[in-house]
Amino acid sequence: MERAGGARGLAEAGLGGGGESGVPAAGAVAAVLPAGGCGERLGGPTPKQFCPVLGRPLISYTLQALQRVSWIKDIVVAVTSENMDMMAAIVQRYRHQRVTLVEAGTTRHRSIFNGLKALAGDHPHSRLPTPTVVIIHDAVRPFVEEDVLASVVAAARDHGAAGAIRPLVSTVITPSADGCLEQSLDRAKHRASEMPQAFLFDVIYRAYCQCSDHDMEFGTECLHLALKYCHTKAKLVDGSPDLWKVTYKRDLYAMESIIKDKISQQICVVADTEEDAECIAFLQGLLKKELEVQGTSVTLCPNGQDLQKIILGDCYNFVCINMKNSDFRPPRQLLAGLASAAPSPFYPVAVVSVYFLDSQNVSLSEKMKEVMEMKDFAKEVKKQNVFFYGVLIHFPQFLTQKDKTFPSLWIFFTRKSSSFSGKLGSIDDRPKRSSYLDSALGFC
Amino acid sequence: MERAGGARGLAEAGLGGGGESGVPAAGAVAAVLPAGGCGERLGGPTPKQFCPVLGRPLISYTLQALQRVSWIKDIVVAVTSENMDMMAAIVQRYRHQRVTLVEAGTTRHRSIFNGLKALAGDHPHSRLPTPTVVIIHDAVRPFVEEDVLASVVAAARDHGAAGAIRPLVSTVITPSADGCLEQSLDRAKHRASEMPQAFLFDVIYRAYCQCSDHDMEFGTECLHLALKYCHTKAKLVDGSPDLWKVTYKRDLYAMESIIKDKISQQICVVADTEEDAECIAFLQGLLKKELEVQGTSVTLCPNGQDLQKIILGDCYNFVCINMKNSDFRPPRQLLAGLASAAPSPFYPVAVVSVYFLDSQNVSLSEKMKEVMEMKDFAKEVKKQNVFFYGVLIHFPQFLTQKDKTFPSLWIFFTRKSSSFSGKLGSIDDRPKRSSYLDSALGFC
């Protein structure tokens, strides 16, 4: 068993979501995450919990969701021995906190039991305190929210066990031995048992200790074990659709789109002059209307503290409008700031820097030298998950003209940004996209 | 009841998929598609079967999947009276064939019954022949393949009824009246009942005629009705994961990604010279390696028959490399050809036209005039779902140099094309994308 973790945690950095708001009344809470599956239903060689989504392994999203909840004191992850190093590297890279790795068993129940043992102090090297309540969650349900975690924990305190449920999407049937319909269950009388679930630690640990080999081998339901071995009737809590389990390739697609949607709703506009306030306000309005961006902020090139605040506010998209300068100093400062200020590389940061270049006054070949330098610099910051896109516009009349082509141009740039980290994959984006491409045509 | 349909069908156009290969032994087959639901689980105002996916309503994809199967002679769609006009417009616009619209009932079973009545000749204005076997499918399961349809139809002939099933993803439980766990079902002994299902027409029609009001109101399972009223034990057929039901917003995301994946695997490269064969072969290799394009074809500007063949081969992406010409005649011809040859506007067609412009020899302002004309032309063809993207490259040395920047440039263009109709939204695309943007920076 090894305790893994980077130097700074999300909770410490203030990203802890609801903080103490939903904290259960008394006693410590821990979580166990079985992650030893091989993901055979996904059809690829990589177990689904390690599949990259926007470049980051699925399980890292789930860990982030759990560690945002400050009252979950320990998170025990059960992984197979061959994936142990990879998992430790993920914890390191994404600076996950309060995470302990244990070896997975050959089945889901055995993996969970190994996790519980680490919390029970049965493991020789374990130094984890035994919690009052333990949450059991799936590594492949990345969108779990604090409110549902708080609900199952509260219900577990009262009832000994609790689990999230959802309505059935399909009717459930019983096949006969010869592959015919034996019985069809009334959909209204049944529910799908989802995750998270929570238990008084004593209840679930006692249940696992008594568990038969058959249960360990073929069982899938923790609530069932609590009922069978401890006569504890779990309280059922309605969960949200977001709790669904990433099972098939289509679920990875869906997950990616959901994340893109979330992180594309914030764009920070950076201008190098305060003089053109009217123009910036116009751009803000446009972003809201055309891209459904929920929040935008305007600032002169931010640094240090300011930058950290922006990132902590879940804003990963920057559009830099360079009106006054045609050199690359301002974006260089911003990129350097981002590379150091970003608290963790959870999502890629996209920076689109826009220049209006009057080719009658500036030598193009000189400019190209600078561009090449910026490309090298962009390669450097990319290693820290900061993606830099630069656009030069050769259009001498532009700065004086400000005609109707102006708005289309703005959309072009901002959409480029969100194409990377957001909107381009989303539904009914097509008509908008074609219009920006049309207008881009005239300016390439 | 109205018979809807455009002038030319997919079957007639030769797009009928497996043709007669999987045709059941004897007797006509028809399909009933209940589409009267309000899609409350999706959370939007539009019923999910009418939600646009890449600009096209979901139900149109399902109809396309059914009408590709030439041995399905009639497709009866049950829609609410308020959506009747919209549905007729969809059938018209996407040239769906063999489709008859009937009014939906207040529940799923009532809608299906209305569809069956139309096939039984009970409807006063019905002129549809009564089939031997009827398929019942969901409007929101767009990826149904001919093989599973043939399987359920064959099994229905033998057993009277048949339906596709899938393993359960979650454990199914029975809640008690006070919201606690009553019982947990053994996941291995149960299955999810999916669609399509098929029945001997007499069996399912007799079942519906005897059906109680309670069944009509609260029932969800056609197989159950056949069992209950006709003692027909349905044969259960293993279905593929693709049969899943679009239920939540995330399913729309997944569906969009799957379609993009499919239609981005074919790119047709059009060159205006045969001289540079080596260069084109290089581009083909690159497309395969970098974009995982499964098929590419090269041709001098195709027209008429050739173009129709390309489109019928499910290729909707064109990259035109203009080496010899710097005028816009070749893409104009291609666009005009595409606009007339496309058998139906199922998917958007993307054309990326690339020019290498030596600004030392050509006047930029003159070129801009041409560009503006092309923009107007692009607007015209867009109405026929053909999207034209043009890229001019100002780089005098380019044609002689052919250095290492060359491949990056190609990727840039082709990726632009697939960004529209394919790859940009897909998983682990990010690193590639950043590299093309890097290289594009030097050439804007």
Nearest to B378 among A165, A236, A438 (CB): A438
Mark yes or no for CB contact B180/A159 under 8 Å: yes
In the block, residue with structure tokens 């400000």: A402
B127 and B14, same structural domain? yes
Under 8 Å CB pairs connecting chains A and B tally to 245
**Model pLDDT, residue A261:** 80
Which position has the higher pLDDT, B399 or B112? B112
- How far apart are alpha carbons A392 and B140 in whole angstroms? 45
Residues of A in contact with B161 (CB under 8 A): 181
Which two tokens mark A279? Answer: 């123009």
The predicted pLDDT at position A443 comes to 22
Nearest CA in chain A to B255: A250
Beta strands in A82-170 (DSSP E): 99-103, 133-136, 161-167
Residues forming a β-bridge with B200: B133
Shared domain for B417 and B270, answered yes or no, is: yes
Distance between CA atoms of A272 and A39, rounded to whole angstroms?
Answer: 49
Say whether both A232 and A314 belong to one domain.
no
CB atoms A426 and B253 under 8 Å: yes
Query: Of A17, A29, A25, which is closest to residue A69 (Cα–Cα)?
Result: A17
By three-state DSSP, how is residue A392 classified? Answer: strand
Cβ of B179 within 8 Å of Cβ of A427? The answer is: no
When pLDDT is cut at 50, 70 and 90, the band that residue B399 belongs to is very low
Same domain, A250 and A174: yes
The pLDDT tens digits for B135-165 are 999 999 999 999 999 999 999 999 999 999 9
* A402 shares a domain with A350: yes
Please tell me whether the peptide bond between A196 and the residue prior to it is cis, using omega within 30 degrees of 0: yes
In this structure, are residues A174 and A266 in contact, taking their beta carbons and an 8 Å threshold? no
- Asked whether the beta carbons of residue A170 and residue B166 sit closer than 8 angstroms, the reply is yes
Q: Which domain holds residue A243?
A: 2-258
For residue B177, is it within any domain?
A: no
Contact state of A180 with B51 under an 8 Å Cβ cutoff:
no
Residue A367: list chain B partners with CB under 8 A. Answer: none
Conformation bin of residue B95: beta by default, left when phi > 0, alpha when psi is -120 to 50: left
Judgement on whether residues A363 and A232 belong to the same structural domain of the protein = no
The alpha-carbon gap from B127 to the nearest alpha carbon of chain A, in Å, equals 34
The single-letter DSSP state of residue A121 is: T
User: Which residue is listed with tokens 């400019």?
Assistant: A367
* B19 and B55 part of one domain: yes
- Give me the DSSP letters along A257-322: HHHHHHHTSEEEEEES-STTHHHHHHHHHHHHHHH--SEEEEEES--HHHHHHHHHTT--EEEEEE
Question: Mind listing the pLDDT tens digit of every residue in chain A (444 residues)?
Answer: 555 543 323 233 233 333 344 555 567 999 999 999 876 656 667 899 999 988 789 999 999 899 889 999 999 999 999 999 999 999 998 888 999 999 999 999 999 999 999 999 776 677 899 999 999 999 999 999 999 999 999 999 999 999 999 999 999 999 999 999 999 999 889 999 999 999 999 999 999 999 999 999 988 899 999 999 999 999 999 999 999 999 998 999 999 988 888 777 788 888 777 666 666 777 777 777 777 776 666 667 777 777 777 776 667 888 887 766 666 777 778 887 877 765 555 677 888 887 766 656 666 677 777 777 878 888 888 777 788 887 766 554 444 444 433 433 433 333 333 333 232 222 223 233 222 222 222 222
Quick check: B313 pLDDT over 70? Answer: no
CB contact burial A239-273 (16+ within 10 A = b; e otherwise): bebebbbbbbbbbbbbbbbbbbbebbbbbbbbbbe
Give B390's strand partners.
B353
Which of A188, A374, A433 shows the shortest C-beta gap to B218?
A188
B182 within domain boundaries: no
Q: How confident is the model at residue B340 (pLDDT cuts 50, 70, 90)?
A: confident
Number of alpha helices (DSSP H) and beta strands (DSSP E) in chain B? 15, 17
Q: Which two tokens stand for residue B369?
A: 């005039």
- CA nearest B251 in A: which residue? A254
**Which residue, of B258, B283, B307, is where some domain finishes?**
B258
Interchain proximity B190–A180, CB inside 8 Å: no
What does pLDDT average to over chain B? 77
Asked if residue B278 and residue B242 are part of one domain, the reply reads no
| Chain B residues lying within 8 Å of A172, measured CB to CB | 168, 172, 185, 190-193
Q: Tokens in use for A152?
A: 């199952």
CB contact under 8 A, B241 and A221: no
Record: contact A55-B235, CB cut-off 8 A = no
Q: Does residue A124 have a cis peptide bond before it, meaning omega lies within 30 degrees of 0?
A: no
Residue A42 C-alpha, separation from nearest chain B C-alpha, in angstroms: 10
Give me the CATH number covering residue B294: 3.40.50.360
ipTM for the predicted complex: 0.71
Domain boundary among B238, B258, B278: B258
Count of the separate structural domains present in chain B: 2
pTM over 0.90: no
* Beta-bridge partner residues of A33: A77
Q: Which residues are within 8 A (CB) of B347 and not within 5 positions of it... i.e. 6 or more apart?
A: B54, B56, B259, B263, B316, B385, B421
Does B20 lie in the same domain as B69?
A: yes
How far apart CA B337 and CA B333 sit, in angstroms, is: 6
Does residue B349 sit in the same domain as residue B211? Answer: no
Which segment of B117-126, B173-182, B408-417 scores lowest on mean pLDDT? B408-417
Asked if B430's CB is within 8 angstroms of A425's CB, the reply is: no
CA distance B249 to B48: 9
| Same domain membership, residue B280 and residue B234 | no
Q: Between the CA of residue B389 and those of A139, A181, B126, B379, what are the distances in Å? A: 42, 54, 48, 11
Check CB contact under 8 Å for B180 and A252. no
The minimal CB distance from B372 to the residues A258, A372, A442 is found for A442
| DSSP codes joined into one string, A161-208 | EEEEEEE-SSEEEEE-TTSBEEEE--GGG-EEEEEEEEEEHHHHHHHH
- The reply to whether B179 falls in a domain is no
Coil/strand/helix, residue A362? coil
CB contact under 8 A, B168 and A169: no
- Is the pLDDT at B225 greater than 50? The verdict is yes
Give yes or no: residues A82 and A136 share one domain: yes
Q: Identify the pLDDT of residue B298.
A: 67
Instruction: Say if residue B259's pLDDT is above 90.
Output: no
Residues from chain B contacting residue A251 (CB–CB below 8 Å): 250, 254
Q: Which helix (H) or strand (E) holds B434?
A: helix B430-441
> Which of A143, A184, A248 best probes binding to B when mutated, by most B CB atoms within 10 angstroms?
A184
Residue B310 is assigned to a structural domain of this protein: yes
Residue of chain B whose Cα is closest to the Cα of A171: B193
Supply the CATH number for residue A236's domain.
Answer: 3.90.550.10
Does B178 reside within a domain? Answer: no
Find all residues with CB under 8 Å of B32, minimum gap 6, and list them: B75, B76, B78, B112, B115, B116, B119, B134, B135, B136, B137
- Look at B431 and A257 and tell me if their CB atoms are within 8 Å: no
Tell me the chain A residues in contact with residue B430 when contact means C-beta distances shorter than 8 Å: 54-55, 348, 420
Q: Where are the alpha helices (DSSP H) in B222-263?
A: 222-230, 249-263
pLDDT score at A342: 57
Instruction: Provide the 8-state DSSP code for A425.
Output: G
Can you read off the two tokens belonging to residue A234?
Answer: 């779990």
Looking at B243, B258, B273, the residue that finishes a domain is: B258
Q: Per the structure block, which two tokens stand in for B263?
A: 């239609």
Q: In chain A, whose CA is at the least distance from the CA of B189?
A: A174
Q: Are B67 and B96 in contact (CB under 8 A)?
A: yes
Q: How far is B162 from chain A (nearest CA, A)?
A: 8
User: A interface mutation test: which of B40, B42, B180 has the most A CBs within 10 A?
Assistant: B180
Distance of CA A72 to CAs A67, A68, B250, Å?
7, 9, 28
Whole-angstrom distance, CA of residue B374 vs CA of residue A27: 70
Helix, strand, or coil (residue B391):
strand
| B72 domain-assigned | yes
Q: Is A360 exposed, middle or buried (0-12, 13-18, 19+ CB in 10 A)?
A: exposed
The one-character DSSP state at B175 is E
Q: What chain B residue is nearest to A175 in terms of C-alpha separation?
A: B190
Most A CBs within 10 Å, among B184, B251, B346, B432, to test the A interface: B184
Query: What is the rounded CA–CA span in Å between residue B358 and residue A138?
Result: 58
> What DSSP designation does A129 have?
P
